[in-house]
Amino acid sequence: MAENRFNQIDRYVSGLMAAEEVVEFEQRMRENLGLAEGVHLHRDILTGMELQFMRELKDRLILADIPEKKINWKLIALIVGGVAVLGAAGYAIYYYYLS
């Protein structure tokens, strides 16, 4: 059963080939420069994907460590209430002096 080239390269790079297959595959790589380049390219792609995955995971972990800022609704309510009371008091004083 003939495997396609990509599957053979993937199995070789992943270490899934039997020892006899590895010897035969490495012999074919020595004879076929295109196959050897394909193996190197496959390794580079897998390494790049792993590095990208690690960067994304690191960024997610960093973001997970940053605590979310919670809105302090009680403080906002106190400030708004204080402004309302001062406004009402100011209006009352203003109205009292005008009348």
**pLDDT tens per residue, the chain (99 residues)?**
456 888 999 999 999 999 999 999 999 999 999 999 999 999 999 999 999 999 999 998 888 877 777 888 898 899 999 999 998 888 888 888 876
In terms of phi and psi (left: phi > 0; alpha: psi -120 to 50; beta: otherwise), the region of 12 is alpha
Domain tally, the chain: 2
SS3 49: helix
Count the Cβ atoms, other than its own, within 10 Å of residue 47: 10
79 and 96 assigned to the same domain: yes
What pTM value is reported for the model? 0.57
Token pair, residue 75, equals: 């403080």
Do residues 61 and 87 share a domain?
no
Residue with tokens 């390794």: 43
Tokens for 98, please give them: 């005008």
Q: Say whether both 57 and 78 belong to one domain.
A: no
Q: Which domain holds residue 32?
A: 1-66
Regarding whether 56 and 9 lie in a shared domain, the answer is yes
Residues 20 and 50 in one domain: yes
Whether residues 57 and 93 share a domain: the answer is no
